[in-house]
Chain A
């Protein structure tokens, strides 16, 4: 090492001793500080969360979504679809021009909360929408609940947000993790097999989904051939040992929930090890949704999944939505984009109903509760008891349609509202 650097480093080390700060100056400054803290109560008015809510000027909508990190695709899909809907109605609702302020939450609850504070307190948005990760949503819940600010969740599915931690100020346009799975459990028992092997990632959503599926499946008499397989989250790593375990357990059917990268990893390995077509795969719809299906390829063929939407669901609203989305982005729509589209429409319909006035939160909540419209997924409406959307659940089958893989709807299980408690898994 260069001797000169060493000397200068040592000098730096010496200079760090706090000669400039005598104990007395420190105590003096601390005294000033203590005085101010004692005066804290006087300041509490200044600490109250203001902002938001108005009757005129632009309508500001804050978006909290991941734009970096592994769920960036979800964030982008939701944003694109929301903007597309608003453009379609001339970027105006209730007589106010729409202004969107989007913030990147990454997947970190503390960053999500910091961005929420920025949107509400600095940008003074009228309401906030978005949120992909359940961890972020749970972290945000108290902030919105205690400050009486509106949050419309466009993805995060944690059951608890509709149950023990539900809030009058929080709506959800997407799903609760229970919703697609409980109906699927009964359907799978009747239509696929009576003995199942269960696999899911070891985190909140994985447990939510599995318990919803098993609750109805076992109530009808279905059996599990082995303890549910909970795989490491967030990274599954090499899936081979899990697939081998399934192969050796020889179940009549496999149920799984995976999303994003883990879905591709799991389903591809399922195909590589020759299980596709050999042991029927039943799964929560996200496992084979349009965002991952092209990468999974033929390994996903024949997978039956439960979800509240499908790309090729045949109704006029969906046909218009999917065509417009493909036109705008060049990609096929996915369920996340659909949720973004509906979220935008919920905002538009309710704001029109209150004529753009967001200053009366209770009135606006009432207007959102009353929203009902034809959605790409069927009829969109909220359950007023939980503020969670009531979803029509479809069973979809991965088929090769004209050289492309798609989820073809093979059954319509009807409407399901989350039970609002843990009685059904």
Chain B
């Protein structure tokens, strides 16, 4: 066991620098469209990772994660249009706003578990969607908020604007690596282990003296804030905050990404998100039946590879290494 971990670590030593180099290289080797595809895929990768914190680690299956993604986007759009597009202002506002939302919703939703939790998160998401469509003076109604200015950082002449596809892509790469790294640190920390404990057996953990409700709330808020921040990036990329970003279908799609990639692995959902986005983008150009294909793929994973892509890779590796 020890040797295999060491071997895995040795093999993975170059994984992160290789990933970073690959991400950096994208604009040099691929066209502008692929850069935009990579941008949204990365955004969804972090969104899926943040949901994994709830689904895969804490055992809270939410069908309302789009609420934070969309809400963060609206807060960013509103702030950028009416105040400033300075990310040093916008992102803290988004983080504070989504944290507040998550505390309020979590206070209510975390009273329930299982399917009830799933339904309650769905209900909150749909209520926010309804609010976005109705509250036209603030949200722009069904057309959403268009004309979001390009984001920038800095003050006065010392500022740097993320205009253009490539600059924005690198902004997203930095944000994605930072948030991804942060989430991976979180699940590797004692806090993360406590979450897994809650998922496996909440009562046992409570009997050990853990205030499990607080842990769940912290995970819920954390996941919400990360989703809100990438939601803001998504809106800055599209320059448009749309109510559809809050719709439950988005929540369902992110859940799909988590499961296909492998819940409870962090890397898996990120991979799942990238694959699903690419699948949707390329397959839908060739066939109108892409939803059937995606559904079949999903069902196949659920039935035959519940550990997702990462689970399959691990099983194969372990089998390869097993002494003959």
Contacts and interface: CB of A to CB of B under 8 A. Distances in A.
A118 B21 CA distance: 25
A47 B166 contact: yes
Interface residues of B, number: 72
Interface stretch (B79-87, B107-115, B283-291): B283-291
A248 B17 CA distance: 71
A89 interface: no
A117 B15 CA distance: 31
Interface string A202-220: 1111010000000000000
Contact of A13 (B133, B164, B264, B267): B264
Contacts of B212: none
Contact of A49 (B32, B40, B167, B266): B32
A15 interface: yes
Contact of B281 (A37, A114, A142): A114
Nearest to A160: B143
Interface string A1-17: 00000000110110111
Given A110-B238, A139-B240, A202 B164 contact: no
A19 B5 contact: yes
Interface string A43-66: 110111110000000000000000
Contacts of B134: 202
Interface stretch (B169-177, B213-221, B295-303): B169-177
B33 interface: yes
Nearest to B34: A122
B206 interface: no
A50 B173 CA distance: 23
B244 A158 contact: no
A47 B37 CA distance: 13
Interface stretch (A21-29, A274-282, A294-302, A319-327): A21-29
Contact of A32 (B20, B130, B143, B280): B20
B323 interface: no
Interface in B62-88: none
Nearest to A6: B200
A12 B141 CA distance: 45
Contact of B188 (A18, A26, A33, A143): A18
Nearest to A146: B239
Interface string A369-401: 000000000000000000000000000000000
A118 B240 contact: no
Contacts of B9: 19-20
B133 A12 contact: no
B290 to A, nearest CB: 8
Contacts of A15: 8, 314
Interface stretch (A100-108, A187-195, A331-339, A349-357): A100-108
B99 interface: no
A411 interface: no
What secondary structure prevails in chain B residues at the interface with A? Answer: helix
Given A12-B265, A16-B266, A44-B167, A104 B174 contact: no
A134 B20 CA distance: 39
Interface string B7-41: 01101110111011101100110011111110010
A118 B281 contact: yes
A68 interface: yes
> Could you say which of B9, B12, B170 has the most chain A C-beta atoms within 10 Å of its C-beta?
B170
Contacts of A36: 24, 170
Nearest to A119: B33
By size class, the interface of chain A is 35 or more
Contacts of A120: 33
B142 A114 contact: no
A109 B184 contact: no
A121 interface: yes
A50 B35 CA distance: 13
A117 B24 CA distance: 21
A202 B24 contact: no
Nearest to B130: A232
A233 B130 CA distance: 8
A103 B285 contact: yes
A106 to B, nearest CB: 9
Contacts of A109: 144, 238, 240, 242, 244
Nearest to A21: B16
Contacts of A103: 284-285
Contact of A142 (B34, B240, B311): B240
A83 interface: no
Contact of A138 (B143, B174, B281, B311): B143
A113 B267 CA distance: 28
A88 B238 CA distance: 38
A232 to B, nearest CB: 8
B251 interface: no
Interface of B: 5, 8-9, 11-13, 15-17, 19-21, 23-24, 27-28, 31-37, 40, 130, 133-134, 136, 141-144, 146-147, 164-167, 170-171, 173-174, 177, 181, 184-185, 187-188, 192, 196, 200, 234, 238-240, 242-245, 264-267, 280-281, 284-285, 288, 291, 307, 311, 314
Interface of A: 9-10, 12-13, 15-21, 25-26, 28-30, 32-34, 36-37, 40, 43-44, 46-50, 67-68, 103-104, 107-111, 113-114, 117-118, 120-122, 134-135, 138-139, 141-143, 158, 160, 165, 202-205, 207, 232-233
Please give me the 3 A-B residue pairs with the lowest Cβ-Cβ distance, nearest first.
Answer: A20-B12, A47-B166, A203-B142
Given A25-B17, A43-B28, 9 more contacts: A12-B265, A16-B188, A30-B177, A33-B177, A37-B170, A44-B164, A47-B167, A113-B238, A203-B141
23 contacts: A15-B314, A17-B188, A18-B185, A18-B188, A20-B9, A21-B181, A21-B184, A29-B177, A30-B20, A33-B20, A33-B24, A34-B174, A37-B174, A68-B288, A103-B285, A109-B244, A110-B240, A117-B33, A118-B37, A121-B31, A122-B34, A138-B240, A233-B133
